[in-house]
Structure formats: C-alpha cells, structure tokens
Structure 1
Amino acid sequence: MSTKPPSLTERRKAATQLDIARAAAELFTERGPDDTTAEDIAQRAGVALRTFYRYFRSKQDAVAPLLAGGADRWRAGLAATEPGTSLPAALERSIAGSLGAEGPEAEEGLRWTRGLLRAAERDPALRAVWYRVNHESEERLRAVLTALAPPGTDPLELRLTAAAATAAIRVALETWSQTDAPLRGEGAPAELAVRCLRELTGGGTRRPAGEE
C-alpha cells in the first residue's frame, strides 16, 4: 500500500530536528551530557532556544532522531519484502542490510549510536530515551510484521517476534558500543544482531495451523 509523501513543511521539520540531534550528539561526545545545556545545543544547531523546545522536551530527548533513524530505515526495508518471503528470512536479511554500514549515512549513524550509547552508560535520562526509542520501534514493527505475515498468523507470535527482533538489535548495538569492533565483519552490529535474533527466535514465527 502506497503512503503519502511528506509535505514540504514536514520535511523541513524533520531536517531541523536532525540538525538539532546532530548538534546534541556532538556536544555530548565532546563534553558529556552533564556539561551540555539545551542552550548549548540550540546555539550549535543555529536555532533559537524556543525552537529547540518546540521539538524536544529535554537535552537528552534531542538525540532521539539519531537513535531512531536506523530503525526507521530497517522497517522501511522490511516492509518492501517480496510477498511470500518467510518472516525469519526477511528479518535476517533486513537486519543485516540496515546494520551493514553500507554507505556514508549508515556509517555515520552507527558511529553516532556508539558514542551516544557510551554516554548513556553514565546518564539515566539518555538511557531512558534509548529505551523509549526501542519501545516505539517495536510497536511500529508489529504493524509491519502483521502486514507481511500469512493470514491467520497468531497475533501473539507476531508480538513476540517484534519484541525479539527489536531486542536483538538493541543488545547487538549495546554490546558493540562497548568495544572497538569495526563497522563491518566479525563483532560488528550486523553480525551480532543476526546472532541475537537466531538465539531469541529459535527459527522465527510459526505459520498458522495446517500450513506447517
């Protein structure tokens, strides 16, 4: 099903949010969250403080667009899966593709994520933003999986699959961020996430009764 493209106003809003998010991530990396204020972030982003608070409730909340960007691309790739593809295969392929650091945007996103997750170890409010981003991604993933699953698939199975896939990526990124492993290859996010997914799903979603 086609979706309506974002309006010019929506695109400008998203661009401003991303500029603020990058400014916040830069300052958190340079100074740490404790030594960064909302005023600092607004100044670095080149916006008024009131503009900052129009989009974000707190300085930690400002990095949410960066932390959510990879998940947004992942779900979009998964939603484009060819009809008839099994959910386990589709999930593995989409996770490997989205975390594979192919292209400058993906590489930048992973580097920001690593820095922010390291900073979050010492900042409970930043950790809370990370967990919220993951929860929201899981809810949106359920809708994508429901659209891809065969008719009659148990909703509980889909919910568990969404939770497992989201947890696999979260644990993989948290584990990777604590190391100096590369963006690609052994120990990289894509490899870790696929390993986590296989451990958590044990083969993925079951098909409806009578189709196994």
Structure 2
Amino acid sequence: MSSEQRERQRLDISRHAVRLFAAQGVAATSGEDIARAAGVSERTLWRHFRTKESCVEPLLTQVIDAFRATLRTWPPGVELTEHLRDAYRPVLDSSSDADIEAVHAVVRLTRHEPALRAVYLVLGERAEDSFAEALAERAGLPSDGFEIRSQAAAMSAVFKVATDHLAHDTADTGLTPGVLHRHHEQLAGALSLVTRGLSEKQQG
C-alpha cells in the first residue's frame, strides 16, 4: 500500500469513527464497530491508530493543515489579518462538505468527551511547532527563540478558540458565508495582536 493509499484509508476510517462517536458516544463505540463500519479488519484499524479516540486525528489535522498552509503563503509586506481574510478557509480546499461538517462535529464532541479532547490538545501542541517554523522563517529569527515560541503558542491558543467557536456556530446552520466571515474577523482581530511587529521585522 502506497503512502497516499494509506492516508486515504486513515481518513476513511476517521470519517466512520466520527459518525459513530457523534451518533452513540465514544464509550459505546468499540474499535470493532469502527472497523466494521469502515469495511476493514480490526488488525488494520490498530495498525493505523493507537486507540479508538485517535481515529479522529486525520480529520482534525485537516483544520491545522489549512491554517498552516495559509501561514506558508503569507506574502511579504502584507498584514496577516489581510491575508487571512483573502486566503484562509478553515479546512483544506480538497475537503468535501461532509468532511467539513465531520471536523466541526469532532470539535463539538471534544467539549464533552475527555478522551477526544486529549487528542485535540496533543494535535494543537504539534501545530504550535509548525506555526513557530512559519513565523521564524518570516521574521528571520530562530524558531526556538523565546519571542517566536511565545507568538506561536499564543497563535495556537487563538486558533483553537476560534475553531471551537466556529464548530459551535455551524452546529445548526453549517458553514454559511456569514458564519465564515465572522470566523475570519474574529481570528484576524485576535491574531493581529499576536503577530504585531512581524511585518516590521521582515521589512527591517
């Protein structure tokens, strides 16, 4: 199996796991249930994932990857807030509408499912490292320096809160243009404080 096929299978398992978790709760869902729904053996399931809760990782990672991609394409001389309004979408462009809703369903579940929340928080810590790399590259500073690490940590916190609010706001209406606009404005406004000075450093 190629790496691309492996990732597709992981994502498919993730979709089925989220559907089952949302329908019947994490405690009532077994690895066997997820494997059966995804049409794979339990052995295959456990080869891909450490625990049943970690099955949500591929979907949640799409949110982080989308924001990281936006940071990577942040043009010189442009404020991040402006770039976010123009370029950021809270999931990858390749994501289907069903995947978008599944991602938000997972985030909503983390409020009441401690095991899923633990997975969510671990992914957030990993995201912080990638945010630091992007900020360091832009500012011409070491990625392990205090200033960059502090900004990356603050950015990760803002991103999580904004994502939590977006998931809550889409519970009844889905990702409407109005909801997306509000998400952009909330995220851009908060991040303008976090990234203050980065443009000046790059231009200096």
TM-score bracket for the superposition, by shorter chain length: 0.7 to 0.9
Q: Quick one: which of 96, 106, 109 aligns to 2:99?
A: 109
Conserved 8 A contact 1:138-1:166: yes
**Residue 181 of structure 1: CA displacement?**
5.0
Distance change (3 Å), C-alpha of 1:161 and 1:91: farther
Is 2:11 aligned against 1:18? yes
Match of residue 61 from structure 2: 68
Which residue number corresponds to residue 77 of structure 2? 85
Instruction: Using structure 1 for the length normalisation, give the TM-score.
Output: 0.78
Which residue of structure 2 lines up, in the alignment, with residue 3 of structure 1?
Answer: none
Equivalent residue number for residue 57 of structure 1 = 50
CA contact (8 A) 2:154 2:194 kept: no
Structure 1 unaligned segments of length 5 or more: list them: 1-7
Distance in structure 2 (CA, Å) of the matches to 1:200 and 1:134: 16
Q: How many residues align?
A: 199
Q: What does residue range 1-212 of structure 1 map to in structure 2 within 5 Å?
A: 9-82=2-75, 84-86=76-78, 88-89=80-81, 92-93=84-85, 97-99=88-90, 105=95, 107-149=97-139, 151-152=140-141, 155-179=145-169, 180=172, 182-186=174-178, 188=179, 191-192=182-183, 194-199=185-190, 201-202=192-193, 204-206=195-197, 207-208=200-201, 211=204
Q: RMSD value over aligned CA atoms?
A: 3.0
Rounded Cα–Cα distance in structure 1 between residues aligned with 2:60 and 2:133: 20
Identical aligned residues as a percent: 27
Kindly indicate whether the alpha-carbon contact (under 8 Å) linking 1:70 and 1:109 is maintained by their aligned counterparts in 2: no
Structure 2 unmatched runs, 5+: none
Deviation for aligned residue 1:201: 4.4
Relative to its length, the structure with more helix (as a share) is: 2
Cα displacement string for residues 66-114 of structure 1 (whole angstroms, at most 9, x for unaligned residues)? 01112113212321333x23463476347x6222x79672633331122
Give the structure-2-normalised TM-score. Answer: 0.81
